[in-house]
Structure 1
Amino acid sequence: MHHFLAIIATLLWATTAPAQSIAPREGWVVIDTQKTHAALLDDLKTAVKAHKMGVVTQAGPTGAARNRGITIPENRVIGVFNNDFAVRVLETSTAAMIEAPIRFYVTENPDATATLSYKTPGFVFAPYLEEGGDALRTLASELDTTFEQIARSATQ
């Protein structure tokens, strides 16, 4: 009987994963909110459009994990960019374009609130500044401002 209970406990532990908050780290902006994951995700998409950017990619493992019987916190990575910035990046550094789209990360916290995180565009493009020069530095600064505005709009 003890062996059976140990197996059941292991299976329950393996099919659920505790939520972990995103810790501040170099080059990241981390904004805790009182919004639910779904509300923050909707508000982020609205803010992206309002700031003349586009949602280029979306990815998250939660639904697929749920289909496999695994419960994990909601999370979604949203890639954001627009064609104007893409063309301008390519004018400065072909290699830097691999960083586009730049991503926002919406994560569910243990208390069912959500956090919005992102690496600043200036941080993302820093490895390419020698190649891209002042034009890429200016572009990264513009994107820093745009991403800050999107984040502020989404989290208020």
Structure 2
Amino acid sequence: MTLIDPLQYRRVLGSYPTGVTVVTAIDADGAPAGMAVGSFTSVSLDPPLVAFLPDRSSTSFPKIRTASSFCVNVLAADQEELCRSFAKRGGDKFAGVKWFETESGAPRLDGVAAWIDCDFESITDAGDHYFVLGRVRDLDADAGKQPLVFFQGGYGRFLANGD
């Protein structure tokens, strides 16, 4: 087996642009919890499943995993500061943040490009991350919002052809 240099791994995979999400939930104490997540993907149409991969060292994911549901908030291009707030360790990430309760009770952040309300389906160990599978309960998008994109260590926006 070939040993892969972690720095080269990050550099090469950083050439793949990703969307930026904030996963939110109401923890076991009834408080909102959230974390920025770049590793999010759709998994299945039937049944509707999505996944995200939080780092095992995350201090926010242990709070989120105590919930029965979570909401994936796809950040809009103008929400870079919100992303940075949710990416930090500790502190009240919801201070000054407007949010709404989804049908499942998970927080849906105001102004996002899209949101996906989910029930936890499974959590599997995956190296230094967890693979979290969620069953979609409800979802919606704002067609007028462009997504926030992460690429080669920086944030940007996506413009479709013709924009």
What TM-score, normalized by structure 2, do the two folds share? 0.24
Greater helix percent: which structure?
A: 1
Greater strand percent: which structure?
A: 2
> Does 1 or 2 have the higher relative contact order (CA < 8 Å, sep 6+)?
1
When Rg is computed on C-alpha atoms for both structures, the one with the higher figure is 1
What TM-score, normalized by structure 1, do the two folds share? 0.25
